[in-house]
C-alpha cells in the first residue's frame, strides 16, 4: 500500500508535537516532518513532493492562505489541508478560494477526524470538520434567502439515487457515512457524486452543496 506523504507547517510547537504523535506509526500516513517557517515549507513541498501539506492560517511571513495560493499558482501536485483555530467565515471562504482542499478546526479535530480528512483529501475530495461544515452550511442558507428561483427547465435532471445522495451531502455526511446509510460502498457514493458534478459542471463539493441549497434541489 502506498502511504500518504504528509508535511506540516505550524509555528506552534505544541501543535506540531500533537500532530506528529497522531500521525506517526499509522499504516496510511508517511510522516515527512514539520517546519515552523512558511518559505521553508514551500521549498520542502518542491523537493519532498508530499501528497498533503497541513498548514495553519496565521503564521509569520506567509500565512496559510498565501502558501495555498503559491502552491496552486505553481501547479504543484501537493494538496493543502488547513488546520486553524480561526474558523471565521471570511477565513474559511478565502482558504477555499485560494485552493485549499479542506479546513479543520483545531478545537474539534481528533486523530480520527484528521486521518479521515487526510484520506479523503488524498482521494480528491474536499473535507471540512464538523464546526466548519456547520458554518459553511449556515452561510449557504443565508445566501439562499437572497436568491431568485432558478429556471427549472434548464436544470439537469438527477436520478432518485443521485437526489438521495445529494441530500445527504447537503446534510454534511461523508462518503463513508452516506455509504453506511444507503448500504452501498463509499466508492459507489463517490461515483454518484462525480456524476452529479459532471451534470452541473461543479468544481468542488462545496460548490455542489451551495448550489443545491440555493436552488432547492433537495428536500430537507
Question: What is the grid cell recorded at 95?
Answer: 482558504
> 127 is written with which cell numbers?
473535507
Mean pLDDT in the chain? 84
Q: What pLDDT sits at residue 29?
A: 93
Half-sphere exposure of 110 (CA within 13 A, CB side): 3
The pLDDT value given to residue 117: 92
- Res 164 pLDDT > 70: yes
| CA separation for the pair 151, 164 (Å, rounded) | 22
pLDDT for residue 1: 64
C-alpha cell at 50: 508530499
- Cα–Cα distance list, 120 to 22, 58, 156, 175 (Å): 17, 24, 27, 9
What tens digit of pLDDT does each residue of 62-72 get? 788 889 999 98
Give all domains of the chain, ordered by start, each with its CATH number. 4-129 (3.40.50.2300), 150-214 (1.10.10.10)
Give yes or no for a contact between 52 and 118, defined as CB atoms under 8 angstroms apart: yes
What length does the chain have?
220
Verdict on whether the full-model pTM lies above 0.75: no
Residue 10, class by beta-carbon neighbours within 10 Å (0-12 exposed, 13-18 middle, 19+ buried)?
A: buried
Q: Which residue has the cell 502558501?
A: 67
Amino acid at each position: 500500500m502506498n502511504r500518504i506523504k504528509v508535511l506540516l507547517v505550524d509555528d506552534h510547537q505544541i501543535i506540531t508535537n500533537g500532530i506528529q504523535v497522531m500521525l506517526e506509526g499509522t499504516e496510511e500516513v508517511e510522516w515527512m516532518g514539520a517546519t515552523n517557517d512558511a518559505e521553508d515549507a514551500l521549498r520542502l513541498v518542491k523537493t519532498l513532493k508530499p501528497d498533503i501539506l497541513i498548514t495553519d492560517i496565521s503564521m509569520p511571513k506567509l500565512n496559510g492562505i498565501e502558501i495555498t495560493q503559491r502552491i496552486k499558482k505553481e501547479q504543484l501536485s501537493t494538496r493543502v489541508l488547513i488546520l486553524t483555530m480561526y474558523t471565521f467565515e471570511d477565513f474559511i471562504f478565502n482558504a477555499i478560494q485560494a485552493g485549499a482542499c479542506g479546513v479543520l478546526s483545531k478545537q474539534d479535530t481528533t486523530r480520527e477526524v484528521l486521518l479521515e480528512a487526510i484520506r479523503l483529501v488524498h482521494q480528491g475530495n474536499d473535507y471540512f470538520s464538523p464546526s466548519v461544515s456547520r458554518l459553511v452550511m449556515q452561510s449557504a442558507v443565508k445566501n439562499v434567502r437572497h436568491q431568485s428561483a432558478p429556471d427549472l427547465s434548464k436544470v439537469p435532471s438527477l436520478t432518485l439515487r443521485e437526489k438521495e445522495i445529494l441530500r445527504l451531502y447537503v446534510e454534511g455526511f461523508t462518503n463513508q457515512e452516506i455509504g453506511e446509510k444507503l448500504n452501498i460502498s463509499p466508492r459507489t457514493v463517490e461515483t454518484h457524486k462525480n456524476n452529479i458534478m459532471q451534470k452541473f459542471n461543479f468544481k468542488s463539493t462545496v460548490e455542489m452543496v451551495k448550489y443545491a441549497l440555493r436552488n432547492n434541489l433537495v428536500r430537507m
